[in-house]
Amino acid sequence: MGRSNRAGRARTETEPNPAAPGGPSGAARTRSQGPLARQVGSGLAELVPDRDRPHAWTLLVDGAPQSLVDLADPTYLGFEYQRRLGHVIDLAAAPGKPVTVLHLGGGALTLARYVAATRPRSRQQVAEIDTALTELVRAELPLERGWQVKVRGADARAVLERTPEGAVDLVIADVFAGARVPAHCATVEFATLAARALAPGGRYAVNITDGSALLFARSQVATLRAVFPEVCLVADPAVLRGKRFGNLILVAAQQPLPLDELSRRVASDSYFGRVEHGRSLADFTAGAVPATDATAAPSPAPPPGVFH
């Protein structure tokens, strides 16, 4: 779920990406049709044309930005959190190598499109509980023909529980109920299920939001550190200082993470960010305790006006 300002591209080319074969598998929405608003299971979904990119659309649900999709260039990642998850995807394997990905939370399928375009022949499953939202996205912002993306209309945790052990290279959790991460998807038990689903060398990436004292973020770091030996956090320094509400990306694995390359990519991005790990991450946690199914609470609601 998008919580931050827009940014530049994740790729340097200016023409539509040639990796997308055959065009969308359906009649894609055009700018001339204007905005669209429709009630879905999670609220009022809106598709708003981008001011600067003629084939790009922003998905909002109840006024909160969820996803940005450029139908002409699926490698374009316009939201801060999506760009940072894009770095994780880029480092998941050798460039262009197919991977198996489980997306928990779908939105407009921006990251699934990115994986399909940058890593052809990848196999992807998406868990999106709001089937009406998925139907809207697939009708108005259709996927390219030939992409192996399966969307399941089910709760993210239920899908994770049914995922076979060692089945995927990457689990990406971007699970929001309204504008908050639900408690049952932010626990040690949930992270343990994600760890079980990962193949050797696999990685778990999580998008959360927080602000002010960052109590939820600190608890989430402690939660992942209780399950995974390797954890890092990526965020804007202003968010880390509690100066503004925003996104934080957590990445976890059983093996060492590519911290040097991830740090280089984050530092050179058009969004200013920082990677915390090791001692600095332990200091950030500041004695927070892991969240369990018995103790977890959802992430805090965004402050009024944060999306305006």
- The pLDDT value recorded for residue 27 is 77
pLDDT band at 263 (very low <50, low <70, confident <90, very high): very high
251 falls within a domain: yes
The CATH number covering residue 138 comes to: 3.40.50.150
- The pLDDT value recorded for residue 8 is 32
Residues 6+ apart with CB under 8 A from 308: none
For residue 43, what are its two tokens? 């609220």
- The pLDDT value recorded for residue 230 is 98
Would you say residue 9 has pLDDT above 70?
A: no
Amino acid at 24: P
The helices-and-strands tally (H runs, E runs) of the chain is 9, 12
Boundaries of domain holding 253:
80-285
* Cα distance between residue 186 and residue 93, in whole Å: 26
DSSP secondary structure code for residue 222 in this structure: H
For residue 43, the tally of other CB atoms under 10 A from its CB is 16
Would you say residue 101 has pLDDT above 50?
A: yes
Q: Are 169 and 100 in contact (CB under 8 A)?
A: yes
Would you say residue 3 has pLDDT above 60?
A: no
**Phi and psi torsions of 219, nearest 5°:** -65, -35
Q: CA 259 → CA 5, 87, 105, 231, 252, distances in Å?
A: 25, 11, 26, 10, 11
For the chain, how many structural domains are there in total?
1
265 falls within a domain: yes
Nearest to 119 by CA among 101, 132, 135: 101
What tens digit of pLDDT does each residue of 45-99 get?
A: 999 999 999 999 999 999 989 999 999 999 999 999 999 999 999 999 999 999 9
134 falls within a domain: yes
Burial 179-189 (b: 16+ CB within 10 A, else e): bbbbbbbbbbb
260 falls within a domain: yes
Residues 6+ apart with CB under 8 A from 38: 44, 45, 132, 136
**Which residue in the block uniquely carries the two structure tokens 């990115």?**
114
41 falls within a domain: no
Q: Are 133 and 104 in contact (CB under 8 A)?
A: no
Would you say residue 16 has pLDDT above 60?
A: no
Sort strands 168-173 and 100-104 into parallel, antiparallel or unpaired: parallel
Q: Hey, is 138 helix, strand or coil?
A: helix
116 falls within a domain: yes
Beta partners for residue 49, in sequence order: 57
* Cα distance between residue 186 and residue 291, in whole Å: 7
Burial 236-259 (b: 16+ CB within 10 A, else e): beebbeeeebbbbbbbbbeeebbe
296 falls within a domain: no
Give this prediction's pTM.
Answer: 0.91
307 falls within a domain: no
Would you say residue 308 has pLDDT above 80?
A: no
Q: Are 185 and 253 in contact (CB under 8 A)?
A: no
pLDDT band at 22 (very low <50, low <70, confident <90, very high): very low
For residue 112, what are its two tokens? 């699934």
* Cα distance between residue 39 and residue 43, in whole Å: 6
pLDDT band at 179 (very low <50, low <70, confident <90, very high): confident
R_g of the chain, CA atoms, integer Å = 18
Q: Are 100 and 168 in contact (CB under 8 A)?
A: yes
For residue 185, what are its two tokens? 């998807």
What tens digit of pLDDT does each residue of 185-230 get?
A: 999 999 999 999 999 999 999 999 999 999 999 999 999 999 999 9
Mean pLDDT estimate for the chain: 91
* Cα distance between residue 49 and residue 31, in whole Å: 6
Would you say residue 118 has pLDDT above 80?
A: yes
